[in-house]
Chain A
């Protein structure tokens, strides 16, 4: 059975209908990205999935005993609240120090336990949030624009970490993002959301769908070009006997001339 399955979900907040008639499923081990412009209901949708918001109509069914690792968009910790990284990771369930250390290691920020949360850099903070989600030993990781506030290199590194984590844990990943070029290449499926599901399918399918182009086509040529570039790389990787995602990733970002070349190609499509 699916990890989470949503049928005919609608959410009204006050007078506004934020989401209407959304159908959605995610399977074990799948990477799904939700894209959509600001105010398209992406965060509202995630909040319904984690149970923070009760939909006006429709049904959400979760697999029995589903463990969710949730990485919020932003976590504002009041400066009056003293909190070490180690203590934060032991919320709401107490964790063994060895488990905490292992999770921090997995998230790429080892030995941060004694540091105050307030003293972390943006990148470290997001990775600590990721480590906390991993401690739930999740069936599904849910990330809500987790790289907001990181620069491009920082968010690329963060998503790379997510891919490594997914390979280790075998969990499904559901993320919401604006950063189409980084995210879409790694996704099994993309859902384009704008109050309703505009279109969904493989990254290639969605990127060429007229509904998607109507939303993102004009203003984000750069992002689309970058995406196509990534997409080409992943095809090359498929040809290899031992596809290394990490290689294709770093390559994609360092190879500037190829980028320009692909951009030209993209305009011909």
Chain B
């Protein structure tokens, strides 16, 4: 019953889930949801640019996502209202990306594949890129974990302990850009934020420490990938959105369990 393409899709999804879950936890803890959105939406511009210049899509997406994330980081704390700024940047970069794609007349591209993902078309080469990126992100996070957590709690506390909060912010920004780039193929730029936020939020009620929350979030994300792909396979639904739907259902159960526990 299991075809090769389905196995590849499953592996690709697991790779992205593994990297997105811990980064998603930081996005939730630091209230960076819109920041994740802006970075993800900027990636479509990166896709268009790399197709225009004949570069690998991954490279262009990482570069532009990183550029966007750095722009937002450097603009924050300079008197701009953050939610307005991010709203402007997120949607205008998406719009510029879509317009840029329309100029590529000699390249036939399936826009939907980049907006909503095309996980069932993952090749072995894609798998290499996805797992390489994912392991890179996980390695980066494990290495900087203690420093990142301290900076998330309070930047001044980190300073007093001899850490540089700006450097940790940069690490997080880089990791986020990498996750966005590897997740495009799986869920597309429009739904990446969901893959970051929903598993982390679903894991929260069951976790007593940050590490357990990150681990649980990864498990939730993997379960969502498996369930979403299953539904997609048997009912012919779009795979990326099905994965996000499965994660949302898990989140709903988690919230329900929390309110039952709090009421008891």
Chain A residues within CB distance 8 Å of chain B: 14, 47, 50-52, 68-70, 72, 75, 77-78, 80-84, 87-88, 90-94, 116, 136, 142
- Which of B30, B150, B207 lies in contact with A92, CB distance below 8 A? B150
Q: Number of residues in B with C-beta < 8 Å to the partner?
A: 31
20 A-B residue pairings within 8 Å (CB atoms): A50-B156, A51-B159, A52-B165, A69-B160, A70-B157, A70-B161, A72-B156, A75-B154, A75-B157, A78-B29, A78-B30, A80-B28, A80-B200, A82-B213, A91-B146, A91-B149, A91-B153, A92-B146, A116-B208, A142-B160
What residues of chain B lie closer than 8 Å to A83, measured between beta carbons? 153, 209-210
Considering only CB atoms, which chain A residue lies closest to B204 in the complex? A80
Q: Are A52 and B159 in contact (CB under 8 A)?
A: yes
Q: Which residues of B contact A (CB under 8 A)?
A: 28-31, 79, 146-147, 149-150, 152-163, 165, 200-201, 204, 207-210, 212-213
Q: With both chains docked as a complex, state the minimum distance between the C-beta of B108 and any C-beta of chain A, in angstroms.
A: 43
Instruction: Name the contact of A81 in the complex, choosing from B152, B157, B161, B201 (C-beta under 8 A).
Output: B152
The answer to whether A50 and B159 have CB atoms under 8 Å apart is: yes
Q: How far is the CB of B145 from chain A (nearest CB, A)?
A: 9
Smallest CB gap from B205: residue in A: A82
B204 touches A92 (CB 8 A): no
Partner of A91, one of B150, B165, B208, B212: B150
Other 20 A-B pairs with CB < 8 A, given A77-B153, A80-B200, A82-B208:
A50-B160, A52-B159, A52-B165, A68-B161, A78-B28, A78-B29, A78-B30, A78-B31, A80-B201, A82-B209, A82-B213, A87-B209, A91-B146, A91-B149, A92-B146, A92-B149, A92-B163, A93-B146, A94-B146, A136-B161
Binding site secondary structure of chain B: helix
Name A73's closest neighbour in chain B (CB-CB). B156
> With the chains together, A69 CA to B157 CA distance in Å?
9
Bound Cα distance from A47 to B150, whole angstroms: 16
Majority DSSP secondary structure for residues of A touching B: loop
Asked if A87 contacts B29 (CB within 8 A), the reply is: no
Residues of A within 8 A of B208 (CB): 82, 84, 116
Given A80-B29, A81-B29, A93-B146, are A52 and B207 neighbors across the interface (CB < 8 Å)? no
Instruction: Across the interface, name the chain A residue whose C-beta is closest to B164.
Output: A51
Instruction: Kindly state the separation between the CA atoms of A70 and B162 in the bound complex, as whole angstroms.
Output: 11
What's the minimum C-beta distance from A60 to chain B, rounded to whole angstroms?
13
Contacts of A82 in B (CB 8 A): 204, 207-210, 212-213
Contacts of A14 in B (CB 8 A): 79
| Chain B residues, CB < 8 A from A51 | 159-160, 162
Question: Closest CB-CB distance, B172 to chain A, in whole Å?
Answer: 14
A63 to chain B, nearest CB (A): 14
Chain B contacts for A70, CB-based, 8 A: 156-157, 159-161
Please give me the residue from chain B that is nearest to A77 by CB atom: B153
How far apart sit A90 and B210, CA to CA, in the bound complex (Å)?
A: 12
The distance in angstroms between the C-alpha atoms of A78 and B161, with both chains bound, is 21
